[in-house]
Amino acid sequence: MKRVVVTGIGMINSLGLDKESSFKAIVDGECGIKSISLFDTELYSVKIAGEITDFDPTTVMNPKDVKKADRFIQLGLVAAKEAMLDAKFDSFDSERFGVSSASGIGGLPAIEKTSIIINTRGPRRISPFFIPSALINMLGGMVSIGHGIKGPNLSSVTACAAGTHAIGEAYKTMVLGGADKMLVVGAESAITGAGIGGFAAMKALSTRNDDPQKSSRPFDRDRDGFVMGEGSGALVLEIYEDAVARGATIYAELIGFGESGDAHHITTPTLDGPLRAMKAALKMAGDVKVDYINAHGTSTSANDKNETAAIKEAFGTDIPAISSIKGQVGHCLGAAGAIEAVVSLMAMRDGIIPPTINLENTDDDCDLDYTSNGAKKAELNCVMSNSFGFGGTNGSVIFKKVN
């Protein structure tokens, strides 16, 4: 079977506009969650999010084209550009290079704005750019246009597992011979009235508005819901022999990928689904010791205790180090899997386990070591990243250092 490696990564989130600054802030335990400024929250029960407040889309787009792409696409272009620059290609065969993009909701701001226009100003005032800017697969479309990538152009729309599934889809495409290189990019920006109001109506979000920095509390007894974040993560995947031949820097090899469905409930997870995703990834990876798990760790009651139980079942007495970064950047929905894969790769590169912040009171159902007392230095040779989404869709990926 063909070997697939990572040769470039990029990231943007509420703690930084690039991978190095945001990773440092994550490791330092900083928090990017703050009061929302993207819309007026006066009438909303939730007023906080992991919002990116200093982003200028003209850094990656011609000013006249900004209106053609909703914010999630703009953020995706940032991460994709960084990953491509990081991969340091002198040239490539454009027809053997593909894109695997992901988003859970996509152009919700454009949809919300256009709905208001229809009801207040009439259908004749709809922008001709509305549909292209809102389509989830337009993320991959605009990334491919920007980088001249003409191979398979795929899109995963599987809620909060989308970013992880996009990595798996890219891997499958390459192993089956459809491409030699794939650019994976997951992006999300759903901090709107409809996005925040919709999740709040489900009682899924934290209402700790008076203390945003403490609002996202993965695995903590006093957690009261997740906090929405926004951002993007990107990875360049390449056939191992090609990467070696061109002298590329190799972050890791993708050795395991597992996916499953709960077939249980639209929002409440089961133990079985996440467990089978992890087991499938471990089976594919073979005889390997996982040193670190970047947990889905959403700060919701159902996920955190369920994921804890699934990890126990999957690993038995040999449980790896665990942490969740959602206390730092919030839950970036469809982008979370891509962002957290990048964080996992950087953790392995630097030999450091990011902390789970705001874990102050241990939940009886969350009784593992989640790296709650600050980042820890550790030799990491193999890492796993988990993502589980509404609808009972699950994904796990495993990366290993290339010796």
Q: Please identify every residue annotated as catalytic.
A: 160, 296, 331
E-strand ranges in 124-163 read: 153-156
Asked if 83 contacts 236 with a C-beta cutoff of 8 angstroms, the reply is yes
Place of tokens 């593909």: 98
Q: How far is CA 334 from the centre of its chain?
A: 6
Asked if 212 contacts 48 with a C-beta cutoff of 8 angstroms, the reply is yes
Side chain identity at 85, as an amino acid letter? L
End-to-end, the C-alpha distance of the chain in Å comes to: 18
Place of tokens 């009784």: 367
Structure tokens, 231: 């951002």
DSSP state of 208: -
Q: Which of 394, 104, 157 is nearest to 260 (CA)?
A: 394
For residues 50 and 191, give the distance between their C-alpha atoms in angstroms, rounded to a whole number: 9
For residues 132 and 124, give the distance between their C-alpha atoms in angstroms, rounded to a whole number: 17
Q: For residue 194, give the H/E element and its range.
A: helix 193-201
Judged on CB neighbours under 10 Å (0-12, 13-18, 19+), 103 is buried
For residues 295 and 286, give the distance between their C-alpha atoms in angstroms, rounded to a whole number: 21
Phi/psi for 77 (5° steps) reads -65, -35
Phi/psi for 106 (5° steps) reads 75, -135
Q: Tell me how many helices (H) and strands (E) the chain has.
A: 12, 14
